[in-house]
Amino acid sequence: MDRTVTVTGQGSAQVVPDTAVVRLAAGHRAADVAQALAGVDDAVGTLGAVARRFTEPRRIQTTELGIWPAYDDGGRPSGYEARHGLRVVVADVGVAGEMLTALVAEVGDALRVDGVSLEVADPGPAVRDAREAAFADARSRGEHLAGLAGARLGAVLAVLEGDAVPAPVARAAMSMAKDASFEPGEQALGASVTVTWELTDPTG
C-alpha cells in the first residue's frame, strides 16, 4: 500500500483597500404619498448629481425605494415617509470623503448615510501571493510530518485549493465635523491549499 501524507497549508497577504462602497439614501416625510415621493425624488436627484461628479454613472445603483405610513411619538398617523437608497462605488478612498462632504452640503437633512466599506478593486495579485504562501506552509508541514514518520516527501499526488478568505470588510469610520475622510489601513486576504504527497524512503 502506497504511503501518503495530506496536509492543509494556510497563507495570507496584506492588501490596502483602494475603493469605497458608499451606501446612501434620500428620505422625505410629507402629509401624503405623492408629496413624500416628490420630495424624495428631488433629494435623490441632487444626491445623484453630486455623486456623478466623483464617480462614473455606471457605479451608481438604486438599491431600494419605499414609502410607508409615518407616526409621531404618540403613535398617531403623521403622513408618509419615502426613502430611495443608492449604492455608490468610488474608485478612490480620498475622493469618497470629498463626495460625502459635498453631499452633506448640497443634499442637507434629507441625506442618509447607511455605511461605508473599503474594498480592494483587484484582489488577484494578493490572492496569488496568499496561495503561494499557503502552498509553502503545506510543504513545510508535510516535510515535518514525513520526517516524524521516517520518510521524505515524494511526488505531489493531489492539490486542492480552498476558497480565498478575505478579512471582514473594513467599515470606515468618519467625522463630519469638517470634511469626511477615511483611513484605509490594511486588510489580510487568506488562502488554503490541501496537498497530498507520496512518502518515500529517506535514502531512496
0.75 exceeded by pTM: no
Homologous superfamily of the 19-119 domain (CATH): Protein of unknown function (DUF541), domain 2 (3.30.70.2970)
Map out the domains of the chain as residue ranges.
4-15+122-175+187-200, 19-119
Is 19-119 in the same CATH topology as 4-15+122-175+187-200?
no
pLDDT in tens, the chain (204 residues): 679 999 999 999 988 888 999 999 999 999 999 999 999 999 999 999 999 999 999 999 999 999 999 998 888 999 999 999 999 999 988 899 899 999 999 999 999 999 998 888 888 899 999 999 999 999 999 999 999 999 999 999 999 998 655 444 444 444 444 456 677 777 888 899 999 999 998 875
| Residue 91 phi, psi dihedral angles, 5° rounding | -85, 35
Q: Which CATH class is domain 4-15+122-175+187-200?
A: alpha beta
